[in-house]
């Protein structure tokens, strides 16, 4: 029979879970956190780490708090270690708080245990809707007062064989500078937690015997807990290697194999993605004349309706961008007030600006000129004779306007983007992925989603 219990060890910068099987050495499952942006790293003061039974929507079987060194994004103190976990699905969850105890980032990944030997998992904490983790009066440097009196201390784990630990946890362990100074911590730790079959024998001899840890486990490891704890712990395990400039240990495997000068997913720092841009000399960069927009896109400022002439300039829905300027869409004309209209269908500007079909007796509809009815293939939209298969302001139906950055093709609004580096179709190298079809749109060559190009107006 396999004894497939899981012990989780939460430590500096990396949380670790171990899987015990057949009474042999436990398998390793390292897990840790990465803040998605430099701004989040700079703001984070504490990270609350949780193990959730059943996945990311399950209930917490372990919760602890990690202090983060100010402005560094490096975790400096781990609070506790969970006990053994049964095989099954778990959520590895975290939420980052700033010094005011505001939750600023969250993340959760699911994993099935047992996960095999030496598995590593990094959970990315991304920006979330900011909200207080506790009342302001309870907050101290990102930590909510009374956290140990919550559900974790009342749960099944705390009522287990080492009940003497948590009974004095708030008064002894957490309030004091020395982790082992709490009542009966190590006495219960070895008798309760470590005394499982095949675990403690190797635990003290293997894990704790690492450099700078077990030799001073009670006097050094725990006594330095509030002073930094990493002074000895990082030397043994979690701080990882000291990497030279331009390299980093982004997957937390203990080696500096990531070249942050040219890795588009880790450009200048771990977790910084350039999207479709390249990473050149630690900076996200696009091939000229395209410009990087800071959000993973390379933009053609001469032809991009959502970045026309500049990254912050967006054209109106009745316009497109050509020559770095927003102008009326193909088939539309500019009115004196600046709005764009189709003179072939507008009953107030029918054929020419200012011709109003409502003054023409029964000929109130517009189809190039004022007429008494629309013809076959046209749809009457408030006396405008519209071709709904191509009109971007009546696409597929009266009043259905396509958004900026969309064209009307085959009665559907479809996204498009300029064909980068290509002036004339076909543009096989430019029109790929979600925008595979090369089309001529006004003065531009564009790549359109789907298989159809927008038809011109008659």
Average pLDDT across the chain, whole number = 75
CA 452: distance to chain centroid?
A: 33
pLDDT for the residue numbered 11 = 34
Tens of pLDDT, residue by residue over 335-377, are 998 999 999 999 999 999 999 999 999 999 999 999 999 999 9
Helix, strand and coil content of the chain, in percent to the nearest 5, comes to: 15, 30, 55
Instruction: Quickly state the pLDDT bin for 278 (edges 50, 70, 90).
Output: very high
Residue 147 half-sphere exposure, CB side, CA atoms within 13 Å? 23
pLDDT for the residue numbered 21 = 34
Residue 32 has pLDDT above 80, yes or no: no
Residue 7 has pLDDT above 70, yes or no: no
Q: Comparing C-alpha atoms, which of 152, 146, 154, 142 is closest to residue 170? A: 146
pLDDT for the residue numbered 345 = 95
* Contact indicator for 447, 430 with CB cutoff of 8 Å: yes
Q: Comparing C-alpha atoms, which of 386, 392, 352 is closest to residue 369? A: 352
pLDDT for the residue numbered 197 = 41
Phi–psi pair at 50, nearest 5 degrees: -135, 145
The whole-number average pLDDT for the span 54-70 is: 81
Of the spans 64-78, 117-131, 385-399, which averages the highest pLDDT?
385-399
CB-based contacts of 183, cutoff 8 Å, min separation 6: 164, 165, 167, 168, 172, 173
Domain presence at residue 63: yes
Q: Comparing C-alpha atoms, which of 400, 402, 397 is closest to residue 379? A: 397
102: domain CATH number is 2.60.40.2550
| Structural element, H or E, at residue 285 | strand 283-285
pLDDT for the residue numbered 280 = 95
Q: Taking the alpha carbons of 68, 70, 72, 73 in that order, is the dihedral positive or negative? A: positive
Cα separation, 396 vs 402, in Å, equals 10
* DSSP result, 119-144: EEEEEEEEEEEEEESS-GGGEETTEE
Tens of pLDDT, residue by residue over 210-230, are 443 343 334 343 433 444 434
Beta bridge partner(s), residue 10: 15
pLDDT for the residue numbered 346 = 96
pLDDT for the residue numbered 384 = 96
Cα separation, 316 vs 404, in Å, equals 6
Residue 96 has pLDDT above 70, yes or no: yes
The whole-number average pLDDT for the span 389-399 is: 94
Domain presence at residue 423: no
Q: Comparing C-alpha atoms, which of 419, 404, 414, 421 is closest to residue 454? A: 414
Cα separation, 220 vs 359, in Å, equals 94
Instruction: Quickly state the pLDDT bin for 120 (edges 50, 70, 90).
Output: low
Q: For the chain, how many structural domains are there in total?
A: 1
Of the spans 13-22, 63-72, 418-427, which averages the highest pLDDT?
418-427
Residue 19 has pLDDT above 60, yes or no: no
Residue 319 has pLDDT above 70, yes or no: yes
Tens of pLDDT, residue by residue over 283-315, are 999 999 999 999 899 999 999 999 999 999 999
Cα separation, 23 vs 263, in Å, equals 42
State percent of the chain over pLDDT 90: 44
Higher local confidence (pLDDT), 154 or 141: 141
Domain presence at residue 156: yes
Instruction: Quickly state the pLDDT bin for 203 (edges 50, 70, 90).
Output: very low
Instruction: Quickly state the pLDDT bin for 81 (edges 50, 70, 90).
Output: low
Domain presence at residue 216: yes
Domain presence at residue 452: no
Domain presence at residue 91: yes
The whole-number average pLDDT for the span 268-279 is: 93
Residue 276 has pLDDT above 60, yes or no: yes
Tens of pLDDT, residue by residue over 143-199, are 887 544 344 344 443 444 443 334 444 433 343 333 343 433 343 333 333 434 433
CB-based contacts of 349, cutoff 8 Å, min separation 6: 335, 341, 343, 355, 356
pLDDT for the residue numbered 134 = 86
Cα separation, 194 vs 420, in Å, equals 62
| Region of residue 141 (phi > 0: left; psi between -120 and 50: alpha; otherwise: beta) | left
pLDDT for the residue numbered 164 = 38
Question: Position of tokens 């709490």?
Answer: 182
Higher local confidence (pLDDT), 119 or 166: 119
Q: Which domain holds residue 230?
A: 5-236
* DSSP result, 301-332: TTT-TTSSSSTT----TTEEEETTEEEEPTT-
Query: Is 258 in a helix, a strand, or coil?
Result: strand
Domain presence at residue 404: no
């Amino acid at each position: 029979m396999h004894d497939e219990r899981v012990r989780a060890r939460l430590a500096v910068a990396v949380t670790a879970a171990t899987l015990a099987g057949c009474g042999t050495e436990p398998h390793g499952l390292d897990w840790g956190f990465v803040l998605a942006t430099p701004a989040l790293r700079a703001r984070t003061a504490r990270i609350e780490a949780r193990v959730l039974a059943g996945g990311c929507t399950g209930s917490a079987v372990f919760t602890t708090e990690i202090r983060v060194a100010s402005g560094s994004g490096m975790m400096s103190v781990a609070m506790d270690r969970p006990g053994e976990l049964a095989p099954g699905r778990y959520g590895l969850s975290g939420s980052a708080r700033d010094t005011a105890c505001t939750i600023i980032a969250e993340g959760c990944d699911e994993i099935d245990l047992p996960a095999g030997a030496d598995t590593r998992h990094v959970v990315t904490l991304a920006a979330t809707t900011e909200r207080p983790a506790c009342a302001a009066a309870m907050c101290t440097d990102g930590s909510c007062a009374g956290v140990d009196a919550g559900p974790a201390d009342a749960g099944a784990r705390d009522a287990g064989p080492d009940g003497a630990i948590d009974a004095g946890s708030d008064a002894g362990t957490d309030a004091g500078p020395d982790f082992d100074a709490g009542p009966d911590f190590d006495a219960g730790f070895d008798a309760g937690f470590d005394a499982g079959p095949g675990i403690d024998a190797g635990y003290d001899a293997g894990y704790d015997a690492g450099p700078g840890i077990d030799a001073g486990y009670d006097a050094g490891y725990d006594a330095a807990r509030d002073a930094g704890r990493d002074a000895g712990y990082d030397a043994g395990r979690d701080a990882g290697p000291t990497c030279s400039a331009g390299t980093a240990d982004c997957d937390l495997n203990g080696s500096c194999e990531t070249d942050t000068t040219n890795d588009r997913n880790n450009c200048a720092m771990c977790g910084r993605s350039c999207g479709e841009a390249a990473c050149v000399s630690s900076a996200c960069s696009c091939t000229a004349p395209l410009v990087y927009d800071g959000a993973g896109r390379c933009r053609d400022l001469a032809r991009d309706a959502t970045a026309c002439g500049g990254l912050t300039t967006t054209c109106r829905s009745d316009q497109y961008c050509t020559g770095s300027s927003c102008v009326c869409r193909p088939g539309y004309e500019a009115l004196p007030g600046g709005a764009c209209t189709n003179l072939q269908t507008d009953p107030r500007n029918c054929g020419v600006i200012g011709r109003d079909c409502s003054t023409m007796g029964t000929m109130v509809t517009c189809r190039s000129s004022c007429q008494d009815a629309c013809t076959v293939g046209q749809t009457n939209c408030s006396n405008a004779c519209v071709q709904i298969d191509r009109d971007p302001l009546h696409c597929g139906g009266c009043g259905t306007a396509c958004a900026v950055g969309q064209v009307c093709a085959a009665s559907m609004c479809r996204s498009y983007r300029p064909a980068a580096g290509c002036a004339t179709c076909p543009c096989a190298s430019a029109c790929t992925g979600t925008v595979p079809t090369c089309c001529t749109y006004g003065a531009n060559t564009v790549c359109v989603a789907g298989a159809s190009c927008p038809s011109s107006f008659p």
